Copies of this chain bind each other. A is one copy, B any other.
Amino acid sequence: MNNQLDPNKKEKVLTGDRATGQLHLGHYVGSLQQRISLQDQYEQTILVADLQGLTDNGHNPKKVSSNILNVVADYLAVGIDPNKTTICLQSAIPALSELTMYYSNLVSVARLQRNPTVKNEIAGKSFGASIPTGFLTYPISQAADITAFKATLVPVGDDQLPMIEQTNEIVRKLNNVAGEEILVECRPLLSKVTRLPSMDGKAKMSKSMGNCIYLGSSEKEISKAVKSMYTDPNHLKIEDPGQIEGNVVFTYLDAFHPDVAYVADLKAQYQAGGLGDGTTKKILEECLQETLKPIREAREGFTSDKAQLIEILKAGSEKSKEESNQVLNDVKRAFGLDLF
């Protein structure tokens, strides 16, 4: 890494979400909690990635457009503070598309096709022979997002590490064309939390699987979801010893229950025999209801004032527009395209 940072200047964090659904508990433990603490230490920008959401929803844009304000409400509800964190909308920042155009001349098609993240994602989707161009090229767009804000820290899951690598390749190529350090390399900030599984324990919690506890889920929905959770299929009677591994209830207790010692006791009791799934589910449900009640209520407040959500997103986007235009001007100068 070659980031010569001014020690007096806060490092910049760039993060965001595809606006393709409401945010859920997986986001809460995987990224939102981290962002709440990051906003006090760093200059943080959160990008509502509507353009990236369109890369596999080009023919179904409503999935994206209908979720933009949902995502903003989710952010605010968990405590992301627009006075500390810039929340902006990707499609409202022209420099992001313009930078993508410039960078796409520095990346070969073969390099994109080799990107392990994109390769896996394509394999997991039902594109067939019709991979949308925007989907194959989205690592270039992501590099534009990161560099447009001169972000040096990018919170990611380990499956996203190849995106950081590809971004830094573009940074080096662009700086090489420019003959000076116009763009800065970034480094990943790996999430400490394991991924939350879906209720049936088979996959990670995913909005695309429709198998979620959302931040806005009702009391009833939470209750129903917890009751449906996969535990230990061999734990038939309360007095039987039960298994913790793969037991979704305990995974969630680990992620959400504030009293770690208490959860350790529960685990020991469950493994020894004598603790029923009804009891563990009741404990988990109470904990989740308590965690989500203030978030749901705050969320309802925010979603009832659409104009305010738009105002926040607009103000953040205006600020981001100015910031990213400066980087765009540097990049245009690097290519000699600064006539006027």
Question: Residues of A with Cβ closer than 8 Å to B?
Answer: 50-51, 54-59, 61-62, 64-66, 68-69, 89, 91-92, 94-95, 97-98, 100-102, 104-112, 129-137, 140-141, 173, 177, 310, 313-314, 317, 332, 334-337, 339-340
Task: Knowing A59-B177, A65-B335, A310-B339, say if A104 contacts B133 (CB, 8 Å).
Answer: yes
- Among B55, B92, B104, B134, the residue within 8 A (CB) of A132 is B104
Question: Which residues of B lie under 8 Å from residue A340 when comparing CB positions?
Answer: 92, 310, 313-314, 317
Inter-subunit contact A64/B336 (CB<8 Å): yes
A336→B313 CA distance, assembly (Å): 16
Contact status of A132 and B106, CB under 8 A, knowing A61-B336, A336-B65: yes
Minimum CB–CB distance from A314 to chain B (whole Å) comes to: 5
- Top 8 A-B pairs, shortest CB-CB distance: A65-B336, A58-B105, A104-B134, A94-B94, A105-B134, A61-B335, A108-B130, A104-B133
Complex-state Cα separation, A143 to B339, whole angstroms: 25
Q: Binding site of A, secondary structure by majority: helix, strand, loop or mixed?
A: helix
Chain B neighbourhood of A173, CB < 8 A: 59
Nearest chain-B residue to A54 (Cβ)?
A: B105
A89 partner residues in chain B, CB cutoff 8 A: 339
Which residue on chain B has the smallest CB distance to residue A140? Answer: B133
List 12 other contacts, CB 8 Å, given A94-B98, A112-B133. Answer: A55-B104, A56-B105, A61-B334, A61-B335, A61-B337, A62-B336, A89-B339, A105-B134, A107-B133, A110-B129, A110-B130, A310-B340
CB of A299, distance to nearest CB on chain B (Å): 19
- Beyond A140-B133, A340-B314, whether A97 also contacts B101 by CB under 8 A is yes
Chain B residues contacting A135 (CB-CB under 8 Å) are: 105
- Chain B residues, CB < 8 A from A61: 177, 334-337
Q: A101: which B residues are within 8 A, CB to CB?
A: 51, 97, 100, 134, 141
How far, in angstroms, from A162 to B47 measured CA to CA in the complex? 37
Q: Which residues of B contact A54 (CB under 8 A)?
A: 102, 105, 335
A57 to chain B, nearest CB (A): 8
Most buried by B among A106, A173, A335: A335
Q: Which residue of B lies closest to A66 (CB)?
A: B336
Complex-state Cα separation, A219 to B138, whole angstroms: 51
Docked Cα-Cα span, A110 to B91, in Å, equals: 26
Least CB distance from A309 to B in Å reads 9
Q: How far is the CA of A137 from the CA of B140 in the complex (A)?
A: 13
The residues of B that contact A102 with a CB separation of less than 8 Å are 51, 54
Kindly list chain B residues whose C-beta atoms are within 8 Å of the C-beta of A57. 105
A130 to B112, CA, bound (A): 11
A315: min CB distance to chain B, Å: 10
Which residues of the partner chain B approach A64 to less than 8 Å between Cβ atoms?
A: 335-337
Known: A101-B134, A132-B105, A134-B105. A58 touches B310 (CB 8 A): no
Q: Judging by beta carbons under 8 Å apart, are B94 and A332 in contact?
A: no
Between A54, A56, A69, the greatest number of chain B beta carbons within 10 A of the residue's beta carbon is seen for: A54
Q: For residue A238, give the distance in angstroms from its CB to the closest CB of chain B.
A: 52
Flag if B105 contacts A339 (CB, 8 Å): no
